[in-house]
Structure 1
Amino acid sequence: MHYAPINASDLIPITGAYRHRLAPPQVAGYEGVGTVVQAPSTFQHLLGKRVLPLRGMGCWQRYVDVKAHLAVSVPDDITMTLAARAYINPLAALLMLKKWPVAGKHVLITAGGSACAMLLAQWAQLQGARRVVVAHRSPAHAARLHAMGLDAVLESATDAIQALSAQSDVVFDAVGGDVGQRIWQTLPEQAHFVAYGVLSGKPVQVNAGRPLLHWFHVRHTLGDINTVEWQQLFAEVWPLLRRSDCGEVEIFPLSGWRAAIETYHQSGRARKPLLCLDA
């Protein structure tokens, strides 16, 4: 292994929130990038190649044992630090936009400082959304969002959020809590509210059949996807990443994992914490 990022999905099981399906001791980390040093005979072509070791835990360590058919080859022009971040957030954004297309629609996205929200916003534009508005918690994110040609609004601007919600066709929400609840309650009946995270710790509560609320999880959506379909998803992801602003990173040695996690939780953070796993 060379690098592994810190994501919300990595930290949730550490807190014990996934205790119903985790049996410690386990190594954390759902994504990263490494070089193949050993492979079965039918996958010898991967020796010495960079791959993403995915669909399991344990990426925060020097060596990871992965099922060979699930290893995703990294194109030569993709940097190591970008490859390390090419699974959790990019695949979530891609799958959500496949399931809830936004061409010609008004789109509202929360958690505007997060990597997934940034990709969702950019790719919604590419898909032909009529308007994309990103709600963010920290004013520090506004300049970057505007530079991407996106409309930005503070999550604390209650009146503005409600006015935007009333005009939205699709919402992608990773916050929940009061912000998510206010948006859902103000949406037109025909709108779709896609909840893919609960950063507030409080899920949105619904008391009516419409507007529709959908829960999205990458793991559930992938289900029993076959090898060809799995590899094809990344054939779609790489070109999108090449033309996107994927943000900067801040690299920490594995021994500095505590500082990396503290950095992850900083409001207004501009760089994604990455663990360097090389000796």
Structure 2
Amino acid sequence: MRAIIQQFGPALESIALEHYTPASLSSSQIQLKMRFSTMNPSDLITISGAYRSRISLPFIPGFEGVGIVHQCNEQDSAFSIGDRVLPIGSAGAWQSYRNIDERWCFTVPNQLSDEQAATSYINPMTAWLMLSERLQIQQNMTVLINAANSAIGLMLVRMLNHLGIKPIAIVRRDNTLQEFEGCKLQRIININNRDDYHSLIKMKHHIKVDAILDCIGGGESLMLSSLLKEHGQFINYGLLSAQPIPPQFWLERPDINFSYFHLRQWIHSAEKIDIQNKLNEVMQLVYKGIADTKISARFSLKDIHSALNYIQTNEETKKGKILLTF
């Protein structure tokens, strides 16, 4: 069984389930029997047609999951039947059997559970690549993270702690301290609390922030930029506000060391050995609990419409992942 999109639109209306016979393998492919796939809010954005310029219809959604090698050319393949594999680089994880080019398949260490392996790519890899490849780490630096109590925000906090840094956490509601249990922070600021907001604005007079990790965009990016020290680093990795960073950002702070980070761009420009090495680092962090992911719910693929209802209506999905089982 697989989920298939014949036309872009709202996920509940666009996703259909169908039985299918997997195609014959080409010489460069292996076939995986999927064990788990994840459902992310970003999958719904893809299904809506936001990236239609690079996705042809029909397509199988799902960018993250883990499977077992079911078929391969064992004489020429680096894998053997029964090996556990992380397939990345394209959509196609929401199906029972997946044919995929072997160059986009990566090994998984034995110590990870299937659930850990299935959730070890999108958020953990994005967070770790930003910190290890993009952020200019300095001792005792001040890093500010917005949406810090989101799944990836908490991951960034734990990873920064692992690197010896206590960040400032920006959130959007009160009483979030328990969500940061075990984390080391300079402070938590609720940007929707008037007193907290004013203290945040005043902070630029006595604390200069070295780096900002922003996934909101819009006016919040502009406001936070005023807190950054001269030539400070600003990394944007999302637009949860659905608004671009305004032109005033660059007019007011032309000195800022600004960059966007997109996992897809890094993955599609890196050599396979470099991707595997980074995945190995990430999976060690997953195993240690630093980059582990909370599972909000599990649904069988045949119940995918229930899963879609859940992800659209349940606040818990902002803190964890939905797993699809096969």
TM-score, normalization by structure 1: 0.89
Distance 1:258 1:103 in 2: 46
- Unmatched segments (≥5 aa) in structure 1: none
Moved more, 29-38 or 177-186: 177-186
Secondary structure of residue in 1 paired with 2:269:
coil
With over 3 angstroms needed to count, the CA separation of the structure-2 counterparts of 1:175 and 1:39, relative to structure 1, is same
1:231 equivalenced with 2:276 (yes/no): yes
Shift of 1:33: 0.8
Task: Letter of the 2:125 partner, please give it.
Answer: L
Task: Letter of the 1:50 partner, please give it.
Answer: R
Give the CA RMSD over aligned residues. Answer: 2.2
Distance 1:240 1:102 in 2: 18
User: Aligned to 2:108, which of 61, 64, 74?
Assistant: 74
Larger radius of gyration: 2
Partner of 1:277: 325
Shift of 1:14: 1.1
User: Aligned to 2:95, which of 61, 67, 80?
Assistant: 61
Is contact 1:112–1:141 with CA below 8 Å preserved after alignment? no
User: Aligned to 1:240, which of 271, 277, 285?
Assistant: 285
Distance 2:173 2:316 in 1: 5
Secondary structure of residue in 2 paired with 1:238:
helix
Moved more, 41-50 or 189-198: 41-50
Is contact 2:39–2:324 with CA below 8 Å preserved after alignment? no
Partner of 1:257: 304
Distance 1:116 1:224 in 2: 23
With over 3 angstroms needed to count, the CA separation of the structure-2 counterparts of 1:142 and 1:24, relative to structure 1, is farther
1:51 equivalenced with 2:85 (yes/no): yes
Is contact 2:213–2:234 with CA below 8 Å preserved after alignment? yes
Shift of 1:261: 3.5
Spell out, residue by residue over 1:30-54, the C-alpha distance to the aligned partner (whole angstroms, 9 max, x if none).
Answer: 1111111011232264311221111
Secondary structure of residue in 2 paired with 1:147:
coil
Is contact 1:113–1:268 with CA below 8 Å preserved after alignment? no
Shift of 1:67: 1.7
Identity %: 27
Q: Moved runs in structure 1, 4+ residues, more than 6 A? A: none
User: Aligned to 2:216, which of 156, 172, 175?
Assistant: 175
Distance 1:40 1:82 in 2: 28
- Unmatched segments (≥5 aa) in structure 2: 1-33
Spell out, residue by residue over 1:148-179, the C-alpha distance to the aligned partner (whole angstroms, 9 max, x if none).
Answer: 23342223132243345653111111111332
Secondary structure of residue in 1 paired with 2:98:
coil
With over 3 angstroms needed to count, the CA separation of the structure-2 counterparts of 1:255 and 1:182, relative to structure 1, is farther
Is contact 2:209–2:227 with CA below 8 Å preserved after alignment? no
Is contact 2:161–2:183 with CA below 8 Å preserved after alignment? no
Secondary structure of residue in 2 paired with 1:101:
coil
1:20 equivalenced with 2:53 (yes/no): yes
Distance 2:178 2:161 in 1: 18
Shift of 1:97: 0.8
Distance 1:63 1:236 in 2: 28
Shift of 1:233: 1.1
